[in-house]
Structure 1
Amino acid sequence: MKTGYQGRMKRPLLVRVGKALRPWFNGLIAKGSLVPNIPLLDNSLFPWVAALEKAAPLMQEEFRAIMAERNAIPPLRDLSPDHKRIAPDSRWKSFFLYGYGIPVPENCARAPVTAQLVAGIPGLCSALFSVLEPGGEIPPHKGVTKGMLNAHLGLGVPRDRDNCWIKVADHTLHWDDGRMFVFDDTYQHTVQNNTDEVRGILFIQFERPTRGLGRLMQRLFLGGVKKSAFVKDAQNNIERWNRIQAELEKV
């Protein structure tokens, strides 16, 4: 049995090895990509995007129901310690439906339509309702792997949309209710909500369409991430948070 001390000793080594190999993995994945290696990708490359946009009103209903108990949505930094650098306070909250392909049953039960819709996305990695409170900011950063792409679907967008944005490389994007955009998060990106309203989106991470050696490297890298403490810690923390909330509801 591994002790907590041993786990802490092994984790930095895994992180160091991963960081050292990451540029090599990313280069091979980019070469094998079936979609352009650019910051912002055309929605037409992903047929499932149109289906999700069409179903957006149903997902908005589920999102609003969950937001009715907004304080029960955990801050991302509490779920994933590795995100503390880019989640400096509790204003970025995350309601996970899937994390690296693994469903969160309690959360999926509260948003069954959304959970069913995202389950049909080819290569789904993660899907969550991402909430950024008024004044919230996500500092500039880059994603770890070319093996995944990100998609954002607006579910609750501030009326002052010009002051709520994400910048990906040289592209400044604003969310719209019921509309989606897809981007490569290995390009530097940053988010700000400079309004007095909450920004709510469906945040999706999915496997980049790849082939050949790039596909093999993608599978190896993502397989390693799924087994890492980065994912295991988050899974355990989500389960712990849901247990606590269930106990509070009984009081």
Structure 2
Amino acid sequence: MVTAESPQEEKPKEKAKKKKPKLLNKFDKTIKAEIDAAEKLRKKGKIEEAVRAFESLVQRYPQSPRSRYGKAQSEDDLAEKKRSNEMLLTAINTYREVAELPDPPADLVKTTLKRRAERQQFLGRMRGAQATLERLVQIFPEDISLKNDLGVGYLLMGDNKSAKKVFDEVLGMAPNDGFAKVHYGFILKSDNEIAESIPFLREGLQSGDPGTDDGRFYFHLGDALQRVGDNSAYDWYELGHQRGHFASVWQRSLYNVDGLKAQAWWTARDTTYTDLIKTLERNWKTIRDEALSVMDASRGLFVPEDENLREKGQWGQFTLWQQGKKVDKSCRSVPKTCALLERYPEATGCKRGQIKYSVMHPGTHVWPHTGPTNCRLRMHLGLVIPATGCKIRCTNQTRAWEEGKVLIFDDSFEHEVWQDATSYRLIFIVDVWHPELTQYQRQTLSPI
């Protein structure tokens, strides 16, 4: 039996018959045959001919909204064919012109401006896209989907405050809108309003509304439930797995390459990076001593962890490589350590990882969490390890660090850390590419 506390399968909804949008005004109906002929060229992939045909129509009928829309679509297609940002800007401008003509049909205005906003976002012109979406909302104030688009646009800009306001308005108009609920819950969770986020995320996912079945929402709902001590988190992780968002209940990364070997704990031989591991273990005291030399708090070299992963305590990090790029200023402070790593591109070139020192003080607990990608493995070299009280769990296995020894795990699997010793714990973290990734994949995967 499904309760309010547990996930449920999407309920099939009766499909409302979609009305065909009305794109022709009275005048355009009189030149429909000419518009159709130009559109036929576009649909057949004769893009250059379609552009010329619609340009001719616009010259002859400058007040025809449908002709100008066809010109914008053809320019858009040509931009894609030629991979031309310049042509895409032309199309974006033409889309704007359509909505400014006298007597354009409402459906055409909506279709045109929505596409304009999408293409502006594609080019990274987020403020322009928001202006377009705001105009749409002004023209069609009762259209919930447009308000939702506006809210997402603010999220893409990193403006959570404005996004929250928009989704709040949507829920005032449509209290059961699942799309607005999951996004509102997502924002609350980002603002560390953990308990408050849960009902919005849960009810939004249970709605089965379009746009809600997204791995990020399963991820954040489960995480929020774990943080309030609710074991139904794993029901949601299981459903996220069944939906294809997670590789398993334990492995919940969202930026993945299919088919890579998946196991929580790795040995040196498993990784094929035995030379790197031997170098780290042979030189651990050098690495430790350089770390200790930069731990002076007055110099500010260790930065507090800022991903909201701690329940309590103090956790500082000092980064040497980030997303495959060397932090020169940091390496000048620990030159011997950086020199040791230079000949290991599996680490220094790992665009989906970091190389960093990590110091954790007594009384620290790191929530159960997963890393973002299955494309890396994480090595922990013990530098200063208290005799008792420090441990790390990955899936259902818990281990402890040893000074001068490397622990290796796949951080796309759930892991959790406790520091209950009486003195600090210092380790050196080295992320490496998953050994099964090809050279081409390592070169072309996007950074994280």
Higher Cα radius of gyration:
2
> Matched residues in 2 for 1:28 and 1:68: separation?
38
Checking the alignment, whether the CA contact within 8 Å between 1:75 and 1:90 is kept in structure 2 is: no
Checking the alignment, whether the CA contact within 8 Å between 1:29 and 1:210 is kept in structure 2 is: no
Q: Who is 2:282 aligned against? A: 54
Aligned AA for 2:363?
Answer: G
> Matched residues in 2 for 1:104 and 1:28: separation?
26
Checking the alignment, whether the CA contact within 8 Å between 2:256 and 2:375 is kept in structure 1 is: no
The structural deviation recorded for 1:215 is 6.4
1:23-62 equivalence runs, <5 A: 23=246, 29-31=257-259, 33=260, 36-44=261-269, 45-47=272-274, 48-62=276-290
Q: Who is 1:93 aligned against? A: 316
Q: Who is 1:113 aligned against? A: 336
Checking the alignment, whether the CA contact within 8 Å between 2:215 and 2:246 is kept in structure 1 is: no
Give the gaps of 5 or more residues in structure 2: 1-124, 131-152, 164-185, 187-210, 218-243, 248-252
> Matched residues in 2 for 1:60 and 1:224: separation?
28
Deviations 1:61-90 (CA, angstroms, capped at 9, x unpaired): 10111124477221011xxxxx11x13456
Checking the alignment, whether the CA contact within 8 Å between 1:26 and 1:147 is kept in structure 2 is: no
Q: Who is 2:155 aligned against? A: 9
Q: Does 1 or 2 have the higher relative contact order (CA < 8 Å, sep 6+)?
A: 1
Match of 1:151 among 366, 370, 379: 379
SS in 2 for 1:192: strand
Deviations 1:205-231 (CA, angstroms, capped at 9, x unpaired): 12101246x964x765x4153xxxxxx
> Matched residues in 2 for 1:149 and 1:26: separation?
15
Q: Who is 1:76 aligned against? A: 305
TM-score, structure 1 length as denominator?
Answer: 0.71
Checking the alignment, whether the CA contact within 8 Å between 1:30 and 1:37 is kept in structure 2 is: no
Percent identity reads 22
Deviations 1:23-57 (CA, angstroms, capped at 9, x unpaired): 489797351x3xx4211111123221011100111
Cα–Cα, structure 1 residues 215 and 55, in superposed 2: closer, same or farther, change >3 Å?
Answer: same
> Matched residues in 1 for 2:255 and 2:367: separation?
25
Checking the alignment, whether the CA contact within 8 Å between 1:29 and 1:215 is kept in structure 2 is: no
> Matched residues in 2 for 1:169 and 1:11: separation?
35
SS in 2 for 1:49: helix
Aligned AA for 2:273?
Answer: F
Quick check: 1:193 aligned with 2:414? no
**Which stretch shifts more, 191-200 or 111-120?**
111-120
Checking the alignment, whether the CA contact within 8 Å between 2:365 and 2:417 is kept in structure 1 is: yes
Quick check: 1:131 aligned with 2:359? yes
Deviations 1:139-171 (CA, angstroms, capped at 9, x unpaired): 1011111101100001111132xx100011122
> Matched residues in 1 for 2:304 and 2:283: separation?
27
> Matched residues in 1 for 2:383 and 2:157: separation?
36
Checking the alignment, whether the CA contact within 8 Å between 2:313 and 2:363 is kept in structure 1 is: no
Q: Who is 1:165 aligned against? A: 391
> Matched residues in 1 for 2:299 and 2:390: separation?
22
Checking the alignment, whether the CA contact within 8 Å between 1:40 and 1:183 is kept in structure 2 is: yes
RMSD between superposed Cα atoms in Å: 3.3
The structural deviation recorded for 1:118 is 2.5
SS in 1 for 2:310: coil
> Matched residues in 1 for 2:278 and 2:254: separation?
28
Checking the alignment, whether the CA contact within 8 Å between 1:137 and 1:191 is kept in structure 2 is: yes
Aligned residues: 209
> Matched residues in 2 for 1:71 and 1:166: separation?
29
Cα–Cα, structure 1 residues 197 and 92, in superposed 2: closer, same or farther, change >3 Å?
Answer: same
Higher helix fraction (1 or 2): 2
Deviations 1:1-31 (CA, angstroms, capped at 9, x unpaired): 766x979532579x99884996489797351
Cα–Cα, structure 1 residues 191 and 102, in superposed 2: closer, same or farther, change >3 Å?
Answer: same
Checking the alignment, whether the CA contact within 8 Å between 1:22 and 1:144 is kept in structure 2 is: no
> Matched residues in 1 for 2:256 and 2:447: separation?
16
Q: Who is 1:235 aligned against? A: none
Quick check: 1:142 aligned with 2:370? yes
Cα–Cα, structure 1 residues 2 and 28, in superposed 2: closer, same or farther, change >3 Å?
Answer: closer
**Which stretch shifts more, 40-49 or 19-28?**
19-28
Cα–Cα, structure 1 residues 114 and 132, in superposed 2: closer, same or farther, change >3 Å?
Answer: same
The structural deviation recorded for 1:105 is 1.3
Higher strand fraction (1 or 2): 1
Aligned AA for 1:46?
Answer: Y
